[in-house]
Chains A and B, each alone.
Chain A
Amino acid sequence: MFTGNNTSIIKADPRTKLLILVISMIIPLKCVTVFPSLVFAALLCVMLFLEGEKYLSVICFCISIIIMCLYAGAVKGGFGSVLNMICMSVMVLIRFFCPITMALLLFTKTTDMSHLISSFQKMHLPMVFVIPFVVLIRFIPTIFDEWDGIKKAMLFRGIEFKLKSFITKPAQIIEYTMVPLLFCSVELMDELASSAMARGLDSNRKRSSYVEARLRVTDYAIILIFAGFLAYMFFIYQQ
């Protein structure tokens, strides 16, 4: 995550990808029919493909086709039985989160951190917001890694983590999971802080960057395509 890859055909600016993420949060609210959703999924998959995640883009496209087919089937089935309704609500949720997940994958798999920081600086956001935000999105996968480690260490000592114990022994669960997790994280934060110091993040001078954040022609083309799609959706569902 957040490492970037070298096999990409075009390298879109992080700002473009953020815009795609925002648009893909709005689109599922607006378009409820099958065909436009599929077109949007295809657009996202093309973006993933061009950014170098070729295998992933094909998988995503197949999954979204299957989901849309199931969704169309569920809609045709109507609201007859209780079972049908449960299926329907599950399908609606999956359909809602499908494009958001794909846009998140696009954002997280193909952007590297220094590129992201330099493009945030281009947006003239204050550093007091940029640094915590970047740390936040980089830290979330780390937490899950640490959590895996803690679960393994617990298993080593013959303690199994069960969801049931949330109800029977809540205080102990909080203490025994939170404390090691917080200890690991604090350790990591100290390391991160020294690494940031070494990279000169806390100097007051303007930072220069190895990768240049610039909106190129391809970025404008991508923005135009996605914004056009959004505008078209608004236009259609106004009527």
Chain B
Amino acid sequence: MKLKTKDMIYAGAFAALYVVAVLIVMMLVGTIPVIYIACPLLLGIFCGTIYLLSVLKVRKFGAALLMAVLFACIATGFDPIAFSVCIVSALIAEICMALGKYKSKKMYVISYVFFNFITASNFFRILVAKDAYIAGVRSMIGDDFADGMSRLVTPWWAWIMIVGFAVVGGIIGGLFGSKIVKKHFEKAGIV
């Protein structure tokens, strides 16, 4: 099953919706380091509907991958670590959907849990290249934000926290999204 032009258009437009939603949430919460760390959770809850509608509309290999690549092009700034996190998590999501033969609802929700790691991709970059990031923030935004950030990302449990946020956000967002899709879009005959 190859992607047709129609599917590509759906993928691109849903990616636009996803990117806009992510940027708006980031702008709303991005000013305070403590909530900024919880971004994967909030984004996961907020964007689950868009992702689920997109993959349910296309139902072929490539929808989630295209969305992740486009998201990575715009939101990660071509950073190699963040970019590869995006692509790997989207590939795992694709495998999940393929295992469900593009029919099983459960597998779609599970695939979103993996897909949600792309919202945490920028944090993985921070954790891997910590010192360079803090120095960059310090020179660009200011000492206060940099100090708050470095206090948050230094201990080992920062990893667990971010992965946990991404997983929990994915689960909640996936369940919530599938509920909304069932309530509104299936009735209207869109998916």
Chain A positions near chain B (C-beta within 8 angstroms) = 25, 32, 85-86, 88-89, 92-93, 96, 127-129, 131-137, 139-140, 143-144, 163, 166, 170-171, 174-175, 178-179, 181-183, 185-186, 188-189, 192-193, 196-197, 201-202
Contacts and interface: CB of A to CB of B under 8 A. Distances in A.
Interface in B133-149: 139-145
A189 B10 contact: yes
Interface string B32-70: 000000000000011001100100010000100010011
A93 B190 contact: no
Contacts of A132: 8-9, 11-12, 15, 66, 70
B98 interface: no
- The secondary structure that dominates the B interface is helix
In the complex, the 4 A-B pairs of residues with the closest C-beta atoms, listed nearest first: A135-B12, A132-B12, A202-B5, A89-B142
Contacts of B70: 132-133, 136
B20 A93 contact: no
7 contacts: A131-B5, A136-B12, A178-B50, A179-B49, A182-B17, A182-B53, A192-B13
Nearest to B16: A139
Contacts of A201: 5
Given A174-B46, A174-B49, A188 B13 contact: yes
A131 B19 contact: no
Contact of A143 (B9, B20, B28, B142): B20
A166 B27 CA distance: 14
Nearest to B48: A174
A135 B5 CA distance: 11
A200 B141 CA distance: 48
B80 to A, nearest CB: 16
A10 B41 CA distance: 48
B158 interface: no
A131 B77 CA distance: 21
Contacts of B46: 174
Contacts of A140: 16, 19-20
Interface string B173-191: 0001000100011001010
A193 B69 contact: no
B17 A131 contact: no
A193 B16 contact: no
Given A92-B140, A135-B9, A193-B9, A202 B188 contact: no
A185 B54 CA distance: 11
B94 to A, nearest CB: 14
A186 B11 contact: no
B180 A179 contact: yes
B141 A181 contact: no
